[in-house]
Structure 1
């Protein structure tokens, strides 16, 4: 294998992006690097080597003088991220003086809790969550945080021990719960926490877990975007709701569209049920 081809193969195993200093530390000569460039590898900011198949978000981050972070890195990690603008979010050193196109980038200057390698192209998950907490509205940030917990990218016990250096991040570390396995649960919990209701998640009733139990008798079930692809699943839920009703529970079921786009109506329905005393045992 020619020297340039070895560089290209090495780049492919690194996601298609590496700094020239890393290539030299790996033992590649200047001639080998030049051959790789002649074969299609391009230089970004002179010192970075980028293969044609490298992720555009990563390339945009290093072209901007930083590394991928916040919602950009969260999406690339497969986390649930609420809709946001198409900017690439990057983290840079507080002393950085050459930052790329500000109109296409969301630049994060704060320093996350975890030290980052000199030539890292993306932030570690803790720093991603740190920037998400400082960047997004609280409810949206909480959705991303809980997604990281549910995917087991980080442990909740670890979150609460980290010295975040951010009141937003520290508050989310306390609030995030791995029991919320969908973004709808997260949204519902965050919005109703302000009302001081006795609200519990994933309570076992009649052999099945319910999304929320308010007080002793008011059950709230939330159906996600991809919930129940078959009539059989839907019939099973209808049967379960009927059984709970016969056991003395009131069941309120909402789908993702109602929770996301018709929240005032959802809130009014739940609070009206509480006003009627449907959350209390007879």
Structure 2
């Protein structure tokens, strides 16, 4: 088969079909599994940008790393679970997520955490159990910030940026006559109370009027029916004294949320706890 080029020989006793992907061959050569961005993409977790260099997790006790593996980042992971050889070389989800949390910046890790909790790929209690000890305090803090009620990557980015700027946005808020809103800012955020479902909230009269921030991208609001519904929701919000504010996906991705929201929030008397020079 090798002589007929049905199979291709690679270093470290690996043979593969000509169509085999390079990152799979690298994993086989290392005796490890894809992790971090490539694993997140495999599991359907949203990313702000396509995966970069391949990250491979190998058992912590393995000492030798093969030569000529290209731009590959190798993680030594204690207790690494390796799939059967007949399955794709991808790290078990929770181990891949924790590895990604250690590698990624805070926002990208939070996007992955929100999505993982939202789709039920893991639970907060499972992550907390896996991240005990003082060494994991930064990751414990990240898990505490994660919100399963975040409906999209855009909502996570907007929430993260507003909180970092000193605001107190509340996600998944039911507003009377309007419906559920992505993020709500109020002069009295403490008066936004928990809703009937876990992670949901209700805007009370004490927290009104409020700034209602929507972050869904064009894909979610491109049909005539969606366009009409959004306008009716905005009209209902205005009739009740609230201020609706819709952010485009580009504005959120370009990290313009705070600049846009702060100008409206200031007019409504909703203040940040942080001075502009601090963020």
Q: TM-score, structure 2 length as denominator?
A: 0.75
Q: Does 1:240 align with 2:210?
A: no
Paired residues of 2:39 and 2:90 also in contact (CA < 8 A) = yes
* Deviations, residues 169-219 of structure 1 (Å, cap 9, x unaligned): 322221111111200111111112224433211111125100011113111
> Which of 1 and 2 has higher RCO (CA within 8 Å, sep 6+)?
2
- Corresponding residue of 2:158: 188
Tell me the residue number matched to 1:213.
184
Which runs of structure 2 are paired with 1:42-61 in the superposition (5 Å)?
42=8, 44-48=10-14, 50-52=16-18, 54-61=20-27
Say if 1:210 and 1:64 are closer, same or farther in 2 by CA, change over 3 A: same
1:61 and 1:89 in contact (8 A); partners too: no
* Contact 1:63 1:100 (C-alpha < 8 Å) held by counterparts: no
Could you give the per-residue CA deviations for residues 22-61 of structure 1, whole angstroms, max 9, x where no partner exists? xxxxxxxxxxxxx799793455444445445545432232
Q: C-alpha distance in 2, partners of 1:225/1:51?
A: 41
Q: Which residue of 1 aligns with 2:66?
A: 99
Q: CA distance change for structure 1 residues 191 and 102 in 2, over 3 Å: closer, same or farther?
A: farther
Point out the more displaced range, 246-255 or 227-236: 227-236
Find the aligned partners of 2:138 and 2:97 in 1 and give their Cα distance.
10
Please show how residues 79-118 of structure 1 align to structure 2 within 5 Å: 79-84=45-50, 86-94=52-60, 95-101=62-68, 103-109=70-76, 111=77, 115-117=80-82
Query: Which is further off, 70-79 or 147-156?
Result: 147-156
Q: Distance in 2 between matches of 1:128 and 1:116?
A: 10
Distance in 1 (alpha carbons) for counterparts of 2:150 and 2:112: 11
Distance 1:99 1:149, change over 3 A: farther
Contact between 1:221 and 1:253, CA under 8 Å: does it hold in 2? yes
**Cα distance in 2, alignment partners of residues 78 and 52 from structure 1:** 26
For 1:37 and 1:185, the matched residues in 2 are separated by 54
Structure 1 equivalent of residue 125 of structure 2: 157
Whether 2:241 is the aligned partner of 1:270: answer no
- Structure 2 segments unaligned to the other structure (5+ residues): 187-206, 272-279
Query: Following TM superposition, by how much is the alpha carbon of 1:269 offset from its aligned partner in structure 2, in angstroms?
Result: 2.3
- What whole-Å deviation, never above 9, does each CA across 1:51-89 have from its counterpart, x for those lacking one? 455454322322345321111111111111221553111
For residues 88-126 of structure 1, what are the alpha-carbon distances to aligned partners after superposition, in whole Å with 9 as ceiling and x for unaligned? 1111234432234354212223x25x5413867221111
Q: Is the 8 A contact 2:218 2:248 kept in 1?
A: yes
Query: Counterpart of 1:135?
Result: 103
- Tell me if structure 2 keeps the 8 A contact 1:184–1:222: yes
3-state DSSP of counterpart to 1:166? helix
Would you say the 8 A contact 2:152–2:216 is kept in 1?
Answer: no
Alignment of 1:33-72 (within 5 A): 40-42=6-8, 44-48=10-14, 50-52=16-18, 54-72=20-38
Partner residue in 1 for 2:143: 173
Aligned residues: 242
RMSD over aligned CA atoms reads 2.8
Question: Cα offset for 1:130?
Answer: 1.3
**Consecutive unaligned residues in structure 1, runs of 5 or more:** 1-34
- Seen in structure 2, the aligned counterparts of structure 1 residues 207 and 251 have a Cα distance that, compared at 3 Å, is closer
Residue 106 of structure 2 is aligned to residue 145 of structure 1: no
